[in-house]
């Protein structure tokens, strides 16, 4: 496993297990297999509703806490009872610290390794980021960051004069949607970028993995098309999170460090770019 260094000196595994939509027995078997295969980074969010199940599954792996890297995320409704983006209506219910404490207690840990703002909600960005900064500055979490912050959201963040810049930005990145400008901007601001939904979602995943160029390269390197995509991601010095409900695919998705793509193979995969983003769960083209 390779690692990535954050701006505050914290070291993160380059490859982690995503847990979006995973629940109950499936989550447990996937996490157990992942731990056996050498995953140590696990990504969840209060929004996923599986922090408790992940915490339980991690205990069954018998991996000591210090060997794990646990990421969770703050969602707007964790602290606001009601939020309406258009009318800027919001009723604050809890503090960021309450929300973080609740996440840690569901996970069964004293603290998370990385706490992310799950998205940018402009009217409450300042309050939410200040709360996350406070957690970091008081030593309650090892690193902080954001998710889904494209260039407009990074600019909004800049306008609130952050005391601490995010160390990580989780951004969608697939061969169909490189997200290059947002990745470059994040890097200029000192953030390490982790690619999310690297294999797309639903029918897009099927279509992507059936692409002739990926099939050809997969047979050239003796790997699956999914591994080729994940290798294409990490060869761009990005971290990557992937998720599967099938244990054999989870195993595959970490076996990425004993083969390499040539410059020509990287370029051929990059030609699949068509601005097709799937991160919202609804397939849409970003104009």
**Among 59, 84, 180, 246, interactor with ligand NAP by CB under 6 A:** 246
Q: Which residues pair with 241 in a beta bridge?
A: 16
Q: Are 146 and 121 contacting, i.e. CB atoms less than 8 angstroms apart?
A: no
Is 197 among the residues that bind ligand NAP (CB under 6 A)? yes
Q: Decide: 155 and 162 in contact? Cβ < 8 Å.
A: no
Residue 228 within binding range of ligand NAP, rule CB under 6 A: no
In order, the DSSP letters of the chain are --EEE-TTS-EEESEEEE-TT--HHHHHHHHHHHHHHT--EEE--GGGT-HHHHHHHHHHHT--GGG-EEEEEE-HHHHEEEEETTTTEEEE-S-HHHHHHHHHHHHT-S--SEEEE-S--GGGHHHHHHHHHHHHHTTSSSEEEEES--HHHHHHHHHT--SS--SEEEEE-BTTB--HHHHHHHHHTTPEEEEESTT-SHHHHHHHHT-HHHHHHHHHHTS-HHHHHHHHHHTTT-EEEE--SSHHHHHHTT--SS----HHHHHHHHTT---EE-TTSS-EE--
Residue of 20, 39, 48, 83 marked active site: 48
Residue 224 touching ligand NAP (CB under 6 A)? yes
Check residue 253 for interaction with ligand NAP (CB under 6 A): yes
Task: Using the rule CB under 6 A, give the single segment among 17-25, 106-114, 125-133, 179-187 that binds ligand NAP.
Answer: 17-25
Q: Which is nearer to ligand NAP, 131 or 145 (CB)?
A: 145
> Among the candidate windows 15-23, 56-64, 183-191, 215-223, which touches ligand NAP by CB under 6 A?
15-23
**Is residue 284 a contact point for ligand NAP (CB under 6 A)?**
no
Per-residue binder mask for ligand NAP (CB under 6 A), 22-61, x = binder? ---------------------x------------------
Shorter beta-carbon distance to ligand NAP: residue 25 or 89 = 25
Looking at the Cβ atoms of 112 and 199, the one nearer to ligand NAP is 199
Among positions 155-184, residues that touch ligand NAP (CB under 6 A) are 170
CA 140 to mean position of chain CA atoms: 20
- Asked if residue 261 binds ligand NAP (CB under 6 A), the reply is no
Closest CB to ligand NAP: residue number: 18
The answer to whether 115 is a known catalytic residue is no
- Among 32-40, 52-60, 215-223, 235-243, the segment contacting ligand NAP (CB under 6 A): 235-243
By CB under 6 A, is residue 20 in contact with ligand NAP? yes
At closest approach, how far in Å is the CB of 95 from ligand NAP?
Answer: 22
Nearer to ligand NAP, 75 or 80 (CB): 75
Active-site annotation, residues? 48
């Amino acid at each position: 496993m390779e690692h990535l260094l954050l701006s505050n000196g914290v070291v993160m595994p380059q490859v982690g297990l995503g847990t979006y939509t995973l629940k109950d027995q499936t989550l447990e078997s996937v996490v157990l297999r992942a731990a056996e295969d050498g995953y140590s980074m696990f990504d969840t969010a209060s929004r996923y509703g599986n922090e408790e199940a992940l915490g339980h599954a991690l205990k069954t792996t018998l991996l000591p806490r210090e060997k794990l890297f646990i990421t969770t995320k703050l969602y707007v409704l964790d602290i606001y009872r009601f939020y309406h983006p258009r009318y800027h209506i919001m009723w604050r219910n809890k503090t960021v610290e309450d929300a973080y404490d609740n996440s840690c207690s569901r996970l069964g840990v004293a603290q998370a390794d990385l706490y992310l703002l799950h998205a940018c909600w402009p009217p409450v960005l300042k309050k939410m980021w200040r709360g996350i900064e406070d957690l970091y500055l008081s030593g309650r979490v090892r690193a902080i960051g954001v998710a889904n912050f494209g260039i407009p959201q990074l600019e909004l963040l800049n306008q609130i004069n952050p005391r601490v810049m995010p160390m990580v930005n989780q951004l969608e990145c697939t061969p169909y949607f490189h997200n290059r400008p947002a990745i470059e901007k994040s890097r200029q601001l000192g953030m390490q970028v982790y690619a999310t939904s690297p294999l797309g979602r639903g029918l897009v995943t099927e279509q992507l993995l059936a692409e002739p160029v990926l099939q050809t390269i997969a047979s050239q390197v003796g790997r699956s098309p999914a591994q080729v995509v994940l290798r294409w991601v990490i060869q761009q010095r990005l971290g990557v999170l992937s998720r599967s409900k099938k244990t054999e695919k989870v195993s595959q998705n970490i076996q990425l460090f004993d083969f390499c793509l040539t410059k020509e193979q990287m370029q051929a995969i990059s030609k699949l770019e068509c601005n097709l983003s799937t991160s919202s769960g609804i397939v849409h083209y970003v104009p």
